[in-house]
A and B are shown apart, each in its own frame.
Chain A
Amino acid sequence: MLDLAVLAVLSDGDAYGYDVLRRLREQGLDEVGDASVYGTLRRLYRAGALSSYVVPSDEGPNRKYYALTDSGQTQLEHSRKVWQTFTDHMAAILQNGASR
């Protein structure tokens, strides 16, 4: 699930690790661990779903930005469909259960 969340955040624009974490928190994922986000970024990067580049920062050390690759974009679309299907099914199940 975190893979999909990270890919979705990056589909809105390139971001560095701390920025990805902040955006996730802003979307309500308060409980996600910092290390989990960075680990996920590294794993997606190794898998070719993300690319990275360094941007000098006036406020501190250089920042490593992550960006979606074409492969990452494809993975995002596929995962979104899977997730949407899953949530639809779950919604139906829960609705049926509640109506009985």
Chain B
Amino acid sequence: MATRISEPADGTINWPPQARAYVTAVHDQLGAVEEDERNDLLEDLRDHVAALLQERGNDVDLEDRLGPPATYAAELLDSAGLQTPRGAHRPWLWERRIRSYLANPRTSRIIDWLRQLLPAWWVARGYGIALFLAAFTGGTTPSRQLPIPWILGNPLTGLLISLGVIYLSVEVGTGRIDTSGGWRRLARWAASVVSVLTLLMVATQPYGGVVEVEPGVFYDLDDPGGAEVFFEEQPILEHPVLTLPGRDPVTNIYAFDRNGTPLSDVLLYDGVGNPLILQDGPDGNGYPFDAYGLQTDYERDADGNLVPNLYPLTQYRTTDDGNETGSRPERSGDARRPVPEVPIPPLPSNAEDADRAAPTLTPMPPARPTSPPLSDQRRSGE
């Protein structure tokens, strides 16, 4: 007698494992019968077993009552006037061995326990399909805290479609939607495979992979105010960047002394001595101000070297494969200069004024990097 890891047929989910195994074994014996006819025969058998279980309880010995599955199948075929088509597929030896292993009582108990998880799988399958739809309709997930796929660019649409797909998946799983034959069974398997692959893809991506993204910004620094911001969506970077309180990325840091004089060769570290890295984009070209989907058209000096700090930078957006999108801003020509046009607030000239000017700040001791080489760099930067 054999069983298999698959969704139980309609109405059999509460059956004892030996009853499902019996039906499965008969099914295997009928493997060469035309599918429609086989489904009808098995439907009758399921009805019969259900009636026996109802009348005699779950402990009924089906082999004792109906005979071995092979005998039952042979009698059924004979009385129904059916013969196994010549050349039809018979289970291979390895198939029979696997089924024999699955029919082992201990394995059956494990499989029976796993069947209890089927409802969770049905929900996950629906969610995976929703993620797949999101990935192919330009969808995103706004955050990891609320993992609703954006389908057709809309979270509400995504929520509704997700619920609908999950509902269908559960209905298919319980058998209330018949997918036992022909293209429907093929579609069910295809959907399951697509869902599993999508879920695996999402699960193995450190920051959500194909669908999970967070809002990004594009600063058009050619704008005199430098403040025009286009909120778009961009995949989460492999390495996180510094962010502002609104989760917008910090794209640049300027260092000035208290007199407003720009400082050069400043090295910044966090409290434990890690260097602060901005815009660690996947292009890996080392350009300091490039991010995923955002590149900078750097100017070059007379020797052809990049001048990375000639502001405002001419930045433009690119697609995933590096192709430029939209129009590239024109250079500002002679108006560009090595410091951005940022209003510098007047700073107090002594510590007492400084405390009054920034009463909410807590004085911090000088950060001391833990790594000696970094410590050396920091002191040289200061």
Contact = CB atoms under 8 A, between A and B. Distances in A.
A59 B54 contact: yes
A65 to B, nearest CB: 10
A39 B78 contact: yes
B85 to A, nearest CB: 16
Nearest to B41: A42
B44 A42 contact: yes
Contacts of B81: 39, 43, 46
Contacts of A36: 75-76, 78-79
Nearest to A32: B79
Nearest to A41: B44
Interface residues of A, number: 22
Contacts of B45: 38
A33 B65 CA distance: 10
A69 interface: no
Contacts of A43: 79-81
A35 B72 contact: yes
Nearest to B54: A60
A83 interface: no
B191 interface: no
The B interface, classified by DSSP as helix, strand, loop or mixed, is: helix
The A interface, classified by DSSP as helix, strand, loop or mixed, is: helix
A5 B160 CA distance: 55
A17 B51 CA distance: 10
Contacts of A42: 37, 40-41, 44, 80
A61 B41 contact: no
A34 interface: yes
B80 A34 contact: no
Nearest to B74: A35
Interface bin, chain B: 20 to 34
B27 interface: no
B29 to A, nearest CB: 11
Interface in A1-31: 2, 16-18, 21
Nearest to A19: B51
Q: Which of A33, A36, A38, A59 is packed against the most chain B CB atoms within 10 Å?
A: A38
Contacts of A41: 44
Contacts of A2: 79
A39 to B, nearest CB: 3
B67 interface: yes
Nearest to B80: A39
Interface in B81-99: 81-82
B46 A61 contact: yes
B68 to A, nearest CB: 11
26 contacts: A2-B79, A17-B47, A18-B48, A18-B52, A34-B48, A34-B72, A35-B66, A35-B76, A37-B79, A38-B41, A38-B48, A39-B41, A39-B75, A39-B80, A39-B81, A41-B44, A42-B37, A42-B41, A42-B80, A43-B80, A46-B80, A46-B81, A60-B54, A61-B46, A61-B47, A64-B43
Given A18-B51, A36-B75, 16 more contacts: A16-B47, A17-B44, A33-B75, A33-B79, A34-B48, A38-B45, A38-B79, A39-B75, A39-B77, A39-B78, A39-B80, A41-B44, A59-B54, A60-B11, A61-B10, A61-B11
- Per CB-CB distance, the 6 closest pairs between chain A and chain B, nearest first, are A39-B79, A39-B80, A35-B75, A61-B11, A18-B51, A35-B76
